Each structure stands twice: as C-alpha cells, then as structure tokens.
Chains A and B, each alone.
Chain A
C-alpha cells in the first residue's frame, strides 16, 4: 500500500493567516491526490480533486499543488469556519489510502 504522510499533525493559526499542509506519498502518485475537510462530529467533505481542482462550491481561499510524491494544501486567509481536520487521499494505486490527518485549530 502507498503510505501518505501529512505534516504537521496539528497546527494552530490565527484568522487571516496563510496556512499550508504538506502530504508526502511513499512513491510517485502523479497528481492522483484529493483533499478532504472533516469538521468535528461530521463526515468528511471533498475540497480538492486531482491535486489542484476545487470541488463545486468550495471557496477560492483553498488551493492545492504538487506532483509525484510531494503535495501541498493551502488556505490563503484562514477563517473561523476552517476549524477542522484535513486529509489527503491518493488513488494512483489500489487500495485508496488516506493521510493520518492534520488538525487545524484557530488561535
């Protein structure tokens, strides 16, 4: 299985900050990477697919990039409602695997 490693595991930032999360794959996955947001007590929500494409209705402050083994997820200006855990997910190789998650707290 392809291992997905996110960093940091948790972070705390202030409203308006620029926040970046990284996701590293154990082998080359091209751009076959998706990102999800999971708010406390809720199901995950798809934010970004194919590394950099925003799902319908997702605010433009969210963005993604990278290729191969190294990927980034960025929130350009943190909002209070962005309190959540964020997961990357690869689909280059079966089985689909997720990163361990990055918990984002608001200062």
Chain B
C-alpha cells in the first residue's frame, strides 16, 4: 500500500525559505511516476506547485517558478519542496501526491501539512 507523509516546520517567518519533505512508503520512487506538490490556502481551492521525476526532471508552475525548488532523494525515498521569500500568501496546507504521468492525475495523496507564514 503506497503512502505519502509530508513533514515541515509548521511556522516560518516572512522572507524565509520554507522546506518540506514528503516520505513515500510502499513504493520506490526509483521505480517511476512523477511526484507532485499541491497547496491549498485556508478555505480556498487547490494550486499546483510542481512535479519531479525519479531522474530529477522537474516541472514548475510558472507563477511560482522563480521561488520553487523540488528535488527527489531516491536513497531515502523522499521528495522535497523549497519555497523562498515566503509571505503570508504562502500560508496553506501543502500536499504531496503521486502523479499518473499520461493523464496527469494525482491518485495518491499525503494527508497534508499546514504551513503558516507569520512573524
């Protein structure tokens, strides 16, 4: 059974860089699939952040591209998200999810981790 679990600091200060990790169990990232990050501000809809493949190939939402880095650590079966220069607008629940390549559907999700940007 494939499971994803996000982890992060919970609270970051404005202008800092947030770092989140997603640990995958029940499936080896090295075996394939893209792995993505999606976020959801409180009470709002879903926003695609970007995706990474086992090779390290990435796709970023252009609206965030200048601030985002997504990477994969196959030895620890993890993917990571870094978002720089955060503001209150980056406060959200952050989800990692497995992306089915051709249909670009996210079919397995982590429970999400809440990240608040505040001084």
Contact = CB atoms under 8 A, between A and B. Distances in A.
B99 to A, nearest CB: 9
A101 B63 CA distance: 20
Interface residues of B, number: 20
- For the residues of A in contact with B, the DSSP-based class is loop
Interface in A74-107: 87, 89, 91, 94-101
Interface in B56-103: 59, 61-63, 95, 97, 100, 103
Contact of B63 (A32, A91, A95): A95
Interface residues of A, number: 23
Interface stretch (B11-19, B20-28, B109-117): B109-117
Given A46-B105, A46-B106, A46-B107, A94 B46 contact: no
Contacts of B100: 49
B105 A89 contact: yes
A7 B92 CA distance: 24
Interface in A1-54: 1, 32, 34, 36, 42-46, 49-50
B47 to A, nearest CB: 7
A34 B103 contact: yes
Given A94-B59, A95-B61, A100 B111 contact: no
A87 B106 CA distance: 12
Contacts of B105: 34, 46, 49, 55, 89, 91
Nearest to B64: A95
A103 to B, nearest CB: 11
Contacts of B59: 94-95
A98 B48 contact: yes
A98 B38 CA distance: 11
CB-based closest 5 A-B pairs:
A91-B104, A43-B109, A96-B48, A95-B61, A98-B46
22 contacts: A32-B103, A34-B103, A36-B46, A43-B95, A43-B97, A43-B110, A43-B112, A44-B106, A46-B105, A46-B106, A49-B105, A50-B103, A55-B107, A87-B45, A87-B46, A89-B46, A91-B105, A94-B59, A95-B63, A96-B48, A96-B61, A97-B48
